[in-house]
Amino acid sequence: MQNFEPQTIDLNFQATPGVIAVYAWDTGDGLALVDTGPGSTLEALEAGLGQLGAVWADVRHILLTHIHFDHAGAAGQLLELSPHARLYVHERGARHMVDPERLYASAAQIYGDQMEALWGEMRPLDADRLTALAGGETLRLGRAEVRALYTPGHAVHHLAYVAGDELYTGDVGGIRLDPRQPTRPPTPPPDIDLAAWQASAALLRELDVRRLHLAHFGTYAQDAEHWDALLAHLAEEAEWMRERLAQGKDPAELYEPFTEWVLEQVESSVPGLAAAYRFASPPAMNVMGLARYWAKQQARTGETT
């Protein structure tokens, strides 16, 4: 089995370590990166490459798990800086990378005047330097064979990647900022799908890989404990939302109690971790995503939540 040892680049998001990771490894034909982080952390990415003895021109392959700003916001700038790089992304996200105006405008409605400080600039990229994937492809990147796996649930355009015995999970593998913290789901709008997420988790947990590399954050053994905790918390948080929406609560009323409930659990598992967790998976965003999910379920079935 091929072994392409990944290096973790901590993007130090909002001056907070251990929140957003980019993974880099040498393919024999330049560096491969899994995700790019947001435009606001481009300097941290450059510094991380420098610590590996690399510069922008060494980057040849950019594998996006999905197009949310914390994963793909810097992609356009990175392609400008890395003239020989090619970007890979799911076909349902490709057009937004070529023309991110609609994506940016949608996010700006949520983040308002914090948009620039949080995410920085998201530039369009040249469609000729993009390869759109459906999932199921095997990519030859230098000496590396990389399998792209379609893994919806967190996002309808989500991919995970397997290189040798290393699995890059994106967000469908959950949020785990410390080995002591049980894995939890990030559930922002607009594409949360519980059944799809459960199916994706079932696919990934059965893979014959050694390690999981999470965007948020770090490297963990491939074991049942990781996936069991993720699915248990996904079901628990979804049910928490369903019950309160059924009582007639407005989602905006639930931001504070949901945040307190989740962060108390995180803090009890690892004292001092709650502040970083709030950056990695903002609980208010998770309320929005789960509320949208249940609203879609209600519209589909015609029943109340």
Residue 2 resides in a domain: no
- Average pLDDT of span 210-231: 97
Residue 216 resides in a domain: yes
Q: 103 Cβ partners below 8 Å, 6+ apart?
A: 67, 96, 122
Residues 167 and 295 in one domain: no
Helices within the chain (DSSP H only): 42-51, 69-72, 75-81, 91-98, 101-111, 115-119, 194-205, 224-246, 251-269, 274-280, 283-301
Residue 1 resides in a domain: no
Model pLDDT for residues 60-88, shown as the tens digit of each residue? 999 999 999 999 999 999 999 999 999 99
Residues 268 and 227 in one domain: no
| Token pair recorded at residue 282 | 């903002």
Model pLDDT for residues 21-52, shown as the tens digit of each residue? 999 999 999 999 999 999 999 999 999 999 99
Q: How many CB atoms lie within 10 A of CB 127?
A: 12
Residue 256 resides in a domain: yes
Rounded percentage of the chain residues whose pLDDT exceeds 70:
97
Mean pLDDT of the chain: 94
Residues 145 and 263 in one domain: no
Give the model's confidence band at 300: pLDDT under 50 very low, under 70 low, under 90 confident, else very high: confident
- Average pLDDT of span 175-202: 97
Residue 113 pLDDT > 60, yes or no? yes
Residues 173 and 250 in one domain: no
Residue 303 pLDDT > 80, yes or no? no
Residues 30 and 105 in one domain: yes
Model pLDDT for residues 133-151, shown as the tens digit of each residue? 999 999 999 999 999 999 9
C-alpha distances in Å from residue 50, one per residue of 15, 56, 71, 86, 305: 19, 9, 20, 20, 51
Residues 208 and 243 in one domain: no
Residues 250 and 146 in one domain: no
Residue 1 pLDDT > 50, yes or no? no
Residue 206 resides in a domain: yes
Residue 195 pLDDT > 80, yes or no? yes
Residue 58 resides in a domain: yes
Residues 280 and 197 in one domain: no
Alpha-carbon span 118 to 111, nearest angstrom: 9
The residue segments making up the domain with residue 164 are: 7-232
The pLDDT assigned to 262 comes to: 97
- Average pLDDT of span 241-268: 96
- Average pLDDT of span 274-298: 94
Residues 92 and 204 in one domain: yes
Query: Model's pTM, two decimal places?
Result: 0.94
The domain boundary residue, chosen from 213, 232, 251: 232
Residues 223 and 127 in one domain: yes
Rounded percentage of the chain residues whose pLDDT exceeds 90:
87
Q: Report which of residues 120 and 156 the model is more confident about.
A: 156
Residue 285 resides in a domain: yes
Residues 244 and 157 in one domain: no
Give the model's confidence band at 225: pLDDT under 50 very low, under 70 low, under 90 confident, else very high: very high
The domain boundary residue, chosen from 178, 206, 232: 232
Q: 286 Cβ partners below 8 Å, 6+ apart?
A: 185, 186, 187, 188, 237, 258, 262
Residues 203 and 245 in one domain: no
The domain boundary residue, chosen from 184, 203, 232: 232
| Token pair recorded at residue 260 | 């307190």
Residue 2 pLDDT > 60, yes or no? no
Total domain count, the chain: 2
